Structure 1
Amino acid sequence: MGLPFLPVRRRHQAKKELPTAAGLVLLLCFSLTLFACNGQRSTPERKPEASAATQPCLLFAGDSIMEGLGPVVAGMLPHTDNLKIVQAGVASTGLCRPDFYDWPTTMRTYMTTLHPKLVVICIGTNDDQSVSDVGKKYHFISPAWEQAYAHKVEELIDIIVQNGGTPIFVSPPIIGSKYLRPRIFAVREVIKQTCANRNVVFTDVWQTLADPTGNYQRFIVDSNRKKIALRTKDGTHVTQAGNTLLARAILPQIEQGLSR
């Protein structure tokens, strides 16, 4: 609100004194104007809330197992109001075929743009195949393949750690195919050993969906004798019920990682 308008006196006009009553009115208007202006200034401006850049981030990455598991885990996490959760599971991906999907490059982008505090990775169900390392190709599975694949896992760990994040690896769950089961188990063993060598958390859920004797099972029977599917028909992917069991198995490690 501006000051009351007063006509500009031209220089050639003689100066006249205002009548007393008019002067009092003018003084009152001027006082009211100052009061209004001061009232507007007295309201403090609110400080902006914490920016998205300072908001902690949790990243779920990996293959199609993580595609289904990540959202279920996120739904179980308490106190997520100030936590940015990013789902980055991509079906049919792994570490052996960067020509199909380049996880190191993708992870580097995530780390430098989102700066996640914790990265939960489930990968390996598509990695029972040849892998290239330092310009050489190694066929699955041999000691040379194991070493080359370990280098791929280490590369992912280095990218996360060097950019200020903490990795948590989750093993693939047991596989239904009798042909694939020992192959994926061998991949799991390399990831497990590499994590142990690098002092990285490895959460083993291979047996989480198995039966009491450790064998693959597609269904369980609940307390009401209702048959519940844990796995899809292909023997690899996991249903909502199965993902709930997997999520409960890995949730403590994730909560612990976020609390650090």
Structure 2
Amino acid sequence: MTAFCAAMVFAGTLLAAVGAAEAKFYLPMPRPERAEPPKPAPGTRTEGPFNVVVLGDSLGDGLWAGLYRVFQGDERFNVIKHSKVASGFVRSEYYDWNKEVRRVLDEERVDIAVVIMGTNDRQVIVDQKGARHALRAKGWEAEYRRRVQRFTDDLQAAGAQIYWVGLPVMRSERFGGDMQYFNEIYRQEAASQGIPFVPTWNQLADGQGNYTAYGPDLRGRERLLRADDGIHFTLAGYQVLGSVVAEQIRHDVSKGFATARAVPRPNEAQAEEEAPAKEEASETLKSAQAAPIEVPELRPGRADDWSWPLR
């Protein structure tokens, strides 16, 4: 009996010790102190409102609509549309973006410039000397790069933060081949000037990088995202496109945008004088030249109908 009682006492002591250990193990840890958010660098600001100005062609129209809805309720951003349907860098006699961007800068304070361009540029280009160059020819690429450089120079001289949005995947492989060619030019020019290039090709493709008309919307629901022409988007699709751009803008704003304005932009005469030097510098960049592609069968009114005269 005595031995039994001793065993019971020992067992009770052991259980108490285990219980105490368990109780100690499950005690809540001290609450960690909250880390202070990183402070923006000197000479930058994270508070809005920021004027987000969308510049581009018909895809720019849709991207503006998407960004407007994605930023809705975020008082830091004021989304402004300055896009032009059927425009581009090639047909300057129809719409000269190198002149129009100066007009926009005179009319608006452009804090953030969102640019998407290219679907109407599969055409012969006429250089400063009046020479005509076919798409993808060396002279075509040199003149096209010159116009892109002048465009971004003006925006940067006005102190705008530029986001160059890459063209999305297209249904037509032949049309898409030219869009990839343009994307490589934009990517190289953006990199040479410290401009963020926002890729969208894979972000709006299927798991294998191919075109798909359907995909998840911003709520994860399977929706029709692309228009019947295989180029443009539905409103749901433009919101997905806008969210890709908005994500990078919000990330950069949280770190702080420079508030200091750049040097005054050169006048048009100065820009023309600087053009040859820019062209020579651009020769050092890797050419975006790709293998020739077949010309697709055209249908009047489509964005890939680059025939001239217009039908």
Q: 1:255: how far off?
A: 2.2
Q: In the alignment, is the contact (CA less than 8 A) between 1:128 and 1:187 conserved in 2?
A: no
Q: Which residue of 1 aligns with 2:196?
A: 201
- 1:164 aligns to 2:162 (yes or no): no
- 1:114 aligns to 2:108 (yes or no): yes
Q: 1:104: how far off?
A: 1.4
For residues 71 and 108 of structure 2, the distance between their equivalents in structure 1, rounded to whole angstroms, comes to: 20
98, 107, 119: which one aligns with 1:104: 98
Q: Any unmatched runs of 5+ in structure 2?
A: 1-47, 258-311
What TM-score results when the alignment is normalised by the length of structure 1? 0.72
Give 1:164-243 correspondences, 5 Å limit: 164-220=159-215, 228-243=223-238
Q: Any unmatched runs of 5+ in structure 1?
A: 1-53
What TM-score results when the alignment is normalised by the length of structure 2? 0.61
Q: Per-residue CA shift, 1:58-105, capped at 9, x if unaligned?
A: 211101111011122122226644644311122111111111111111
Q: Which residue of 2 aligns with 1:125?
A: 119
Amino acid at match of 2:58: S
Q: Which residue of 2 aligns with 1:88?
A: 82
For residues 204 and 114 of structure 1, the distance between their equivalents in structure 2, rounded to whole angstroms, comes to: 27
Identity of matched residues, %: 24
User: What is the count of residue pairs matched by the alignment?
Assistant: 206
- In terms of mean alpha carbon deviation, does 141-150 or 109-118 score higher? 141-150
Greater CA radius of gyration, 1 or 2? 1
Q: Which residue of 1 aligns with 2:58?
A: 64
Q: In the alignment, is the contact (CA less than 8 A) between 2:88 and 2:120 conserved in 1?
A: yes
For residues 163 and 215 of structure 2, the distance between their equivalents in structure 1, rounded to whole angstroms, comes to: 28
The CA RMSD over aligned residues, in Å, is: 2.4
Q: Cα distance 1:83–1:203, how it changes in 2: closer, same or farther (>3 A)?
A: closer
For residues 80 and 97 of structure 1, the distance between their equivalents in structure 2, rounded to whole angstroms, comes to: 37
Amino acid at match of 1:60: V
Q: 1:227: how far off?
A: 5.4
For residues 184 and 126 of structure 2, the distance between their equivalents in structure 1, rounded to whole angstroms, comes to: 19
Amino acid at match of 1:144: G
241, 249, 252: which one aligns with 1:246: 241
**Larger RCO (CA within 8 A; separation ≥ 6):** 2
Q: Which residue of 2 aligns with 1:146?
A: 141
